[in-house]
Amino acid sequence: MNQHHESTGPADEQQITLRGPAELADALPYLMGFHPNDSVIMVALHGGRGRFGGRLRLGIPQAPQEWAPVAEQLAECLIKGSERRGERPDAIVIFLCQDPAEGESGSQIMERLRPFAQRLRTACGALDVPVLEALCISDGRYWSYCCPDGRCCPAEGNRMAMPGTSVMAAAAAYAGIQVRGSLREMEARLAPLKTSATTGQQRALDSAGAELLPRLLDEEGREDVARETLDLARRLMKRLREAPTGAPSISDINDDRLISHDEAAAVILGLQDRETRDRAAEWMEGPEADSALRLWRALSRRCVAPYEEHAAAPLTLAGWVSWSTGDEPGARVALGLALRADPDYTFAQLLHEACNQGLDPETLRRCLRGERSARTGRRGHRPDRSTRPRTARPTATRRKKAPSGRARPESSASRRRSGQAAPGRRASGGEG
């Protein structure tokens, strides 16, 4: 068996030593904050003791022909991202997690994914960073792609430790770290509704689009829509804040009941305007944050077919509020779904990369606070529009100004409806 010594933090913090594939496999949910499924995860290791650093997660590509380019992209993203933070990885650990399909065994999954694991190892080696361990986790068992010794790593795999019985589980419980179910369960809280209400929500989105689009194409009308969108969002946040809360699943159902189809449609379409979305992003801390996060989650669930791409805006806002309030796992899940809905959504791309690189959200929070303060100060003094100074926009949200009289939607769905050509799509980056 290959022996590994990886600590969970810097030398001046409490350290947990993990030895071998069994403890690595058991530690994965605590590293991510959830049980990943159908995922490739790469974790950077630093120093002689293998301190955990940056990490990436991406859904396993279904087509084997995608494995080579995806492996190269992930290896470069993790290594170059670590270098930008000033610390090149000394090694990398890889996890491939996938549940068996009907009639399939964990061993079959391990063998089917073996070429992908080899692609990942080769891609990291090409950048002069070795892969210390590559594990496949499936059906309650794990396999090592790096250990050839059948005595400790048999062909049928090893059983995972019972939940809560490992040294990592004990340390996580002591530190207050929680594992919030599976990735699939976390994504389900943000997925479009699949109930009898779907048809009603679709009709409301159709009607709101027919009414709002002409107004969004006019400068004055766009400002009116922005004001109406934000006013309605504030009222919905107040309604959610005053409602009792319970378990996440019950709370989500109650939130959905408190928002009508027409209200959801109006805010969803209003948020397709970049500047309106940026104003909504200011609700990222204090008493506003919790109700804003509940609203963005509820609106994400209302982006039913064929309006799935519209979810990029509320999902990005949900990811931003989660990251701003310290919930990095929730942020990565929401931002990953935003990029799945629209891979070209710039705000989600920038937030996703910043979150994965472990940057401090306070930089963007300061920018948004400055925007709000400057706007509040202008309310009592409104110079002529042609001479009014423009405040600097946060770096993460700065985009080229559209010609006067045109709306500035961000999503590719909005671009198509306004007659603009959508740019070429590209694969989104991994989730940390």
Q: pLDDT-derived band of residue 177, with 50, 70 and 90 as boundaries?
A: low
Higher pLDDT, 296 or 167: 296
* Structure tokens belonging to residue 115: 């070429």
Same domain, 282 and 384: yes
Could you identify the residue written with the tokens 């209200």? 263
Q: Average the pLDDT over 229-253 and give the result.
A: 89
Final residue of a structural domain among 150, 183, 216? 183
Question: Which of the residue ranges 302-311, 326-335, 377-386 would you say has the lowest mean pLDDT?
Answer: 377-386
Q: Which helix (H) or strand (E) holds 134?
A: strand 131-138
What is the widest separation between alpha-carbon atoms in the chain? 80
Do 67 and 199 lie in one domain? The reply is no
Q: How many residues does the chain have?
A: 432
Q: Where in the sequence is the domain holding 49, given as residue range(s)?
A: 20-183
Pairing of strands 131-138, 91-97: parallel
Average pLDDT, the chain: 81
Asked if residue 193 and residue 178 are part of one domain, the reply reads no
Please tell me whether residues 53 and 88 are part of one structural domain: yes
Taking residues 347-356, what's their average pLDDT?
90
Do 136 and 225 have their domain in common?
no
* Assigned domain for 165 exists: yes
Q: What is the pLDDT of residue 107?
A: 93
pLDDT of residue 171: 61
Tell me how far CA of residue 62 lies from CA of 58, 106, 113, 120, 428, in angstroms: 12, 17, 10, 15, 15
Report whether 159 contacts 140 (CB < 8 A): yes
Total domains in the chain come to 2
Query: Which of residues 183, 205, 234 is at a domain's end?
Result: 183
Tokens linked to 329: 């796992």
Question: What is the per-residue pLDDT for 138?
Answer: 94
Instruction: Output the pLDDT for position 396.
Output: 38
pLDDT in tens, 76-88: 999 988 888 788 9
pLDDT classification of 181: cutoffs 50, 70, 90: confident
Q: What is the pLDDT of residues 40-70, one digit of tens each?
A: 999 999 987 778 888 888 899 999 999 999 9
Task: From residue 287, give the alpha-carbon distance in Å to each of 11, 147, 379.
Answer: 36, 51, 23
Q: Order across the sheet with 51-59: list the strands.
A: 51-59, 39-46, 91-97, 131-138, 141-144, 158-159
Is the Cβ–Cβ distance between 336 and 428 less than 8 Å? yes
Three-class SS of residue 53? strand
Judgement on whether residues 213 and 330 belong to the same structural domain of the protein:
yes
pTM over 0.75: no
pLDDT tens for each residue of 108-147 = 999 999 999 999 999 999 999 999 999 999 999 999 999 8
Calculate mean pLDDT across residues 172-190: 75
Domain boundary among 127, 151, 183: 183
289 has a pLDDT exceeding 80: yes
- The SS3 of residue 431 is strand
Residues 230 and 108 grouped into a single domain: no
Does some domain include residue 428? no
